[in-house]
């Protein structure tokens, strides 16, 4: 299909594949949830995740009984793997909110196929991220001392501490994300309630649907609440990771005290988040036979955003080196030299350049952006590169700061890696349970798209979007 804007022809791709009706969508998305049969691939994935979750629990028990000495943290590298993994996981959690909130506000119809599992990814990633600062405390059982609660010890939080900032940022982000995700689920939960065969399913989905009856009043209140939460969630994408970036930026350490940190971290978070969305979407598309729901257009658009945010991140790398040189501060200059050509960790910097810059260059070509296997491989490279970026920021900056007499190298221990690998088990276990118990796609919104495709043509929402933003368009 082609849409003409003035003398320019813009090729567009369908949001829904051919033959998608409400009945077909129910059979594709809801029937696997309600059926008593669980596919073999789900058991395989869940079993691997459960094993890794067991490793995670073992690591946590060993940490609590033995103390943080099981980590490789030392002086001066007091922040190490726990903080690296915390920033990495919280970054992954940003794409779900961006897809759901920002694309809803900007009226992008292609969000509807991927927003549900992206929102779930956000919540589970925030769970994995939020546990790391607690486990890094040394005495995790008193984590509640960080909260502003009335107490006789007079231990009201120190608001100049970045740790307190993280508590408020993560709590606010997790709360709004869960509410936003659950509000969007309510119509689909009602559909499951009405279609369920067993009494247990009727009770489960009926209680979760909160008495949804599909009336005009219910839909009006639903859309009002949904848009309000979207408007509230969108700024959180910017504020939460900016707060995480300020953990570093307020310090005096070379390589950390840069004003570029907040926007640089936000771009990196969206970059890593969209990579994880593609890592999840491509296998789901195959396993659930969703090729007509998660179409080539979704892959193409996500790949474009991956390329755009990746170039912003690489620009940030260049600006960091330029600012170190332009400042004329010998500590900053040496920091940049040590990251790029240092004897100990030069490999990490060049490997992240390979993963975050070189690996995404094929995305300039449409044939690559629409190739699921190529996108999956590139997304895996990006996820590795973004973890290496946090390693360079945290570890390489700390190993060599102001005084050569304080320099010391860092080596992760087995338990550092075990806790990190186990966090994938926590994420995977939650995600596989979500896939089994709830619809992975927002079927109610997809049915609306199918209705308008049938009655107004497949470019209906494209024309609505253009009219909304004052763009002239004619089919």
**Encoded tokens for 76:** 């001066």
Mean pLDDT over 397-417 rounds to 89
Rounded (10°) CA dihedral 455, 458, 464, 467: -120
How many structural domains comprise the chain? 1
Q: Which helix (H) or strand (E) holds 50?
A: helix 40-66
Select from 246, 267, 250 the least CA-distant residue to 94.
267
At 66 the pLDDT is 92
Domain assignment of residue 426, given as a range: 2-148+157-440
What is the pLDDT of the chain when averaged over all its residues?
A: 84
Mean pLDDT over 188-214 rounds to 88
In a domain, 50, yes or no: yes
Query: What is the CA angle 132-134-139, rounded to 5?
Result: 135
Rounded Cα distance between 176 and 174, Å, is 6
Q: 311 and 377 in contact (C-beta within 8 Å)?
A: no
201 pLDDT above the threshold of 70: yes
In a domain, 457, yes or no: no
| 374-377 LR contacts (CB < 8 Å, sep 24+) | 375/278, 375/282, 375/299, 375/302, 375/303, 376/278, 376/279, 376/282, 376/283
In a domain, 389, yes or no: yes
Neighbours of 19 (CB within 10 A): 8
Q: 92 and 52 in contact (C-beta within 8 Å)?
A: no
User: Would you place residue 154 in the very low, low, confident or very high pLDDT band (cuts 50, 70, 90)?
Assistant: low
In a domain, 467, yes or no: no
User: Would you place residue 475 in the very low, low, confident or very high pLDDT band (cuts 50, 70, 90)?
Assistant: very low
140 pLDDT above the threshold of 50: yes
In a domain, 128, yes or no: yes
Neighbours of 226 (CB within 10 A): 17
**Encoded tokens for 136:** 């890094």
Residue 152 backbone zone (phi > 0: left; psi -120 to 50: alpha; other: beta): alpha
In a domain, 9, yes or no: yes
In a domain, 140, yes or no: yes
Rounded Cα distance between 299 and 167, Å, is 34
In a domain, 468, yes or no: no
* CATH code at position 350: 1.20.1630.10
User: Would you place residue 451 in the very low, low, confident or very high pLDDT band (cuts 50, 70, 90)?
Assistant: low
């Amino acid at each position: 299909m082609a849409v003409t804007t003035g003398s320019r022809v813009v090729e567009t791709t369908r949001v829904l594949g051919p033959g998608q009706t409400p009945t077909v969508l129910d059979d594709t998305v809801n029937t696997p949830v309600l059926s008593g049969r669980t596919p073999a691939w789900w058991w395989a994935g869940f079993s691997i995740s459960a094993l890794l979750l067991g490793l995670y629990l073992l690591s946590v028990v060993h940490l609590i009984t033995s103390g943080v000495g099981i980590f490789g943290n030392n002086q001066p590298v007091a922040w190490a793997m726990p903080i690296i993994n915390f920033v990495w996981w919280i970054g992954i959690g940003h794409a779900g909110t961006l897809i759901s909130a920002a694309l809803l506000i900007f009226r992008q119809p292609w969000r509807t196929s991927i927003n549900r599992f992206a929102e779930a990814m956000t919540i589970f990633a925030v769970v994995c991220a939020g546990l790391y600062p607690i486990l890094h405390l040394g005495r995790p059982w008193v984590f509640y001392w960080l909260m502003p609660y009335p107490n006789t010890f007079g231990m009201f939080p120190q608001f100049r501490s970045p740790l307190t900032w993280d508590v408020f940022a993560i709590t606010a982000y997790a709360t709004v994300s869960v509410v936003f995700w659950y509000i969007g689920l309510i119509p689909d939960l009602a559909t499951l309630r009405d279609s369920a065969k067993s009494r247990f399913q009727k009770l489960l989905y009926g209680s979760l649907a909160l008495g949804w009856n599909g009336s005009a009043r219910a839909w009006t209140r639903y859309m009002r609440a949904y848009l309000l939460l979207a408007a509230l969630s969108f700024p959180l994408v910017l504020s939460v990771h900016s707060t995480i970036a300020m953990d570093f930026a307020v310090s005096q350490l070379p390589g950390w005290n840069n004003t570029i940190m907040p926007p640089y971290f936000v771009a990196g978070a969206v970059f890593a988040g969209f990579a994880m969305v593609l890592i999840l979407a491509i296998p789901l598309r195959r396993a659930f036979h969703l090729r007509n729901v998660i179409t080539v257009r979704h892959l193409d658009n996500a790949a474009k955003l991956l390329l755009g945010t990746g170039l912003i991140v690489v620009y940030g790398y260049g600006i960091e080196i330029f600012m170190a040189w332009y400042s004329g501060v010998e500590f900053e200059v040496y920091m940049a030299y040590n990251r790029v050509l240092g004897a100990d960790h030069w490999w990490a910097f060049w490997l992240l350049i390979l993963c975050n810059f070189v690996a995404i260059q094929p995305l300039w070509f449409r044939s690559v952006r629409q190739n699921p296997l190529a996108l999956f491989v590139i997304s895996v490279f990006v996820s590795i590169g973004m973890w290496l970026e946090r390693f360079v920021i945290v570890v390489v900056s700390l190993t060599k700061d102001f005084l050569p007499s304080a320099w010391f190298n860092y080596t992760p221990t087995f338990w550092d890696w075990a806790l990190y690998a186990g966090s994938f088990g926590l994420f995977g276990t939650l995600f596989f349970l979500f896939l089994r118990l709830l619809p992975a796609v927002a079927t109610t919104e997809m049915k609306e798209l199918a209705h308008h495709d049938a009655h107004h043509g497949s470019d209906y929402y494209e024309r609505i979007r253009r009219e909304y933003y004052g763009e002239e368009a004619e089919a």
